Amino acid sequence: MCGIAGVLGRRDPVLVQRMCDRLRHRGPDEEGFYHRDGVSLGMRRLSIIDLKTGQQPMSNEDETVWLVFNGEIYNFPELRKELVSEGHRFRTSSDTEVIVHGYESWGEDVVRHLDGDFAVALWDQGKGTALLARDPLGVKPLYYARLGQTLLFASELKALTVDPALTTTVDQEALDYYLTFLYIPSPLSIFREIRKLPPGHRLTWAGGEIRIEPYWNLAEEAAGYRARYQGAGEREVREEAIRILQESVRKRLLSDVPLGAFLSGGLDSSSIVALMSRASSRLRTFTIGYGDQDASYNETEFARCVASAFGTEHQEFQVRPDLEPILDHLVEHLDEPFADSSAIPTYLICRAAASQVKVALSGVGGDEVFCGYPRYLGARLSRWYQRVPRAVQSQVIPRLGPWFAESDGSRNWGGWFRRFTEGGLLEEEERYLSWVRFLTEEERRRLLVPALAAGAGMGDVRIHQRIWRDVRQWSYLDRIFYLDMKTYLSEDLLAMADRMSMAHSLEVRVPFCDKAMVAFSLAIPWEWKMKGWTLKHMLKTGMKDLLPASILHRKKQGFMIPLAAWFKGQLNSLLHGELARPALERVGLLEPGPVAELIALHESGRKNVSNQLWSLLVLQLWMKRFGRMS
């Protein structure tokens, strides 16, 4: 695990040193640089594999190819054997070197051979060209910016902004996406001049010109698995799914330093710990808990059950609503406005784990891979809801709303009912997007100052619609799974895991996000993943001989914080202070009147809009620290 940075098109040691200084948290163990006419490369290293000889930048034998690399290549032993058989000579035991020699053999297609989580930047001195690439699911980040004939790149946005020649003006389309979904999807970034390389893409640079293209296609990979297992029975497919997951866990145990696992007590993290126990005799597990006042969010008893079953060295950490001491650090490491409030417990559990291990495995991705979100049940039910007469949908159903009061608890049935029925009148594509959208175009127009309100809706769901239509021939539920993997998983969950873990120099590995696991899951008939109205049926059935019954049959609970209640209690003064009229007018982005109305709506209990308020609070904090609109 590392932080990488560089300049293509000119030699600039001073700038690259400053960029790497901003990435020190990603690699506190050492740094390295390569400078030649036309290029400067740098990296910060967190030593995980080959502690003694894995330094970067790394070159081939004649030093015509140089590489900086962030991540892990899990199939590097197999690639190394193949490359040795072709005559390549290795000087280290690191996974980094297989990329260098792989490039010599396979050119730009080296990235197709890699099984891992990575962001790479490779310089070919002989050709005067560069190759940047990002792993298929987007576990590792990579930002870039063009300045004339020069290209800058880095693992984090903040490293690029140290160049005074780069204009850091907020991209209005990116802002619109943020207020819609609480994250900014690639290729956009919050700044106009900076872009994210999308997952599964490579960028080639030559003489100031760039070409960006996908090298991995999730839909095609899934179609290949579907053809291969056509005619196979449910049991055979289930056993293969668990085998792929077990292999994914095994690969991610590769480490020369201590590692552990996050354990919430939910099915996903418990499954990872169970499969880890098959390959490791000593496990450390970490969990986050809440006090009795927020009991509906507490999962510690379930985590203890799993830890006891597998004899792990288990530690619990309590989350308290005293967030002000960490907010500045959290916002700084998010880089961009990002309002998934799960970033808070993720930040805290990473901080706790980093005091004892350098690597932790996580259950991120299990809901997308094995169908675990309640909204998937809603999507299935909506096919029946569409048959209800329109007059009943529009006139009778809304009258039932008062019977479903909104809640501050972890299961807000009233909010779920409202969102389901509001979207029930829409066509399939827009129906699902309405469930994952947090602020409508009309709401965004009201909240933004007049100079920005006209731009609300300029992006909205354009990126999501393109992805949705890529698989228009698939079933409704399969298209939903595909969309979530390409957007929410990559752009929200994996981005959050990377930023919050690297803020504490911790590497997080995500077995559910193995490229084979994700593609295979899309090939599985959705009816086997969600049997009847049971979410994660296949995973539960596949793990029934390993996990305690209490874990297999417990209700779904997300990795959340009691934000709605905290905004009415311990965080109320923070909310009112940061979103007060004087504070809003100093930043000049949000309209004080509509913001005050939204706060009052939440405090009245009529509607839980804690996610929307958190998005405004984070945006205000971020703008105070980093942003400007022109």
Which residues participate in catalysis according to the annotation? 2
| CA separation for the pair 570, 203 (Å, rounded) | 47
User: Cα dihedral sign for 518, 434, 170, 563?
Assistant: negative
Asked if 249 contacts 511 with a C-beta cutoff of 8 angstroms, the reply is yes
Q: What number of residues does the chain have?
A: 630
For the chain, how long is the longest CA-to-CA vector?
76
Please give the Cα distance from 272 to 278 (Å, whole number). Answer: 10
State the Cα–Cα distance between residues 133 and 131, nearest whole angstrom: 7
Backbone φ, ψ for residue 211 (5° rounding): -130, 130
Burial (CB count <10 Å: 0-12, 13-18, 19+), residue 220: exposed
DSSP string of 273-301?
Answer: HHHHHTT-S--EEEEEE--GGGGGG--HH
DSSP state at residue 342? T
- The tokens for 98 are 């297989």
Distance CA 185, CA 462 (A): 11
CA distance 80 to 109: 16
**Contact present, 323 and 294 (Cβ < 8 Å):** no
Task: Please state, as a whole number, how many other Cβ atoms lie within 10 Å of the Cβ of residue 149.
Answer: 12
Contact 75, 114 (CB under 8 A): yes
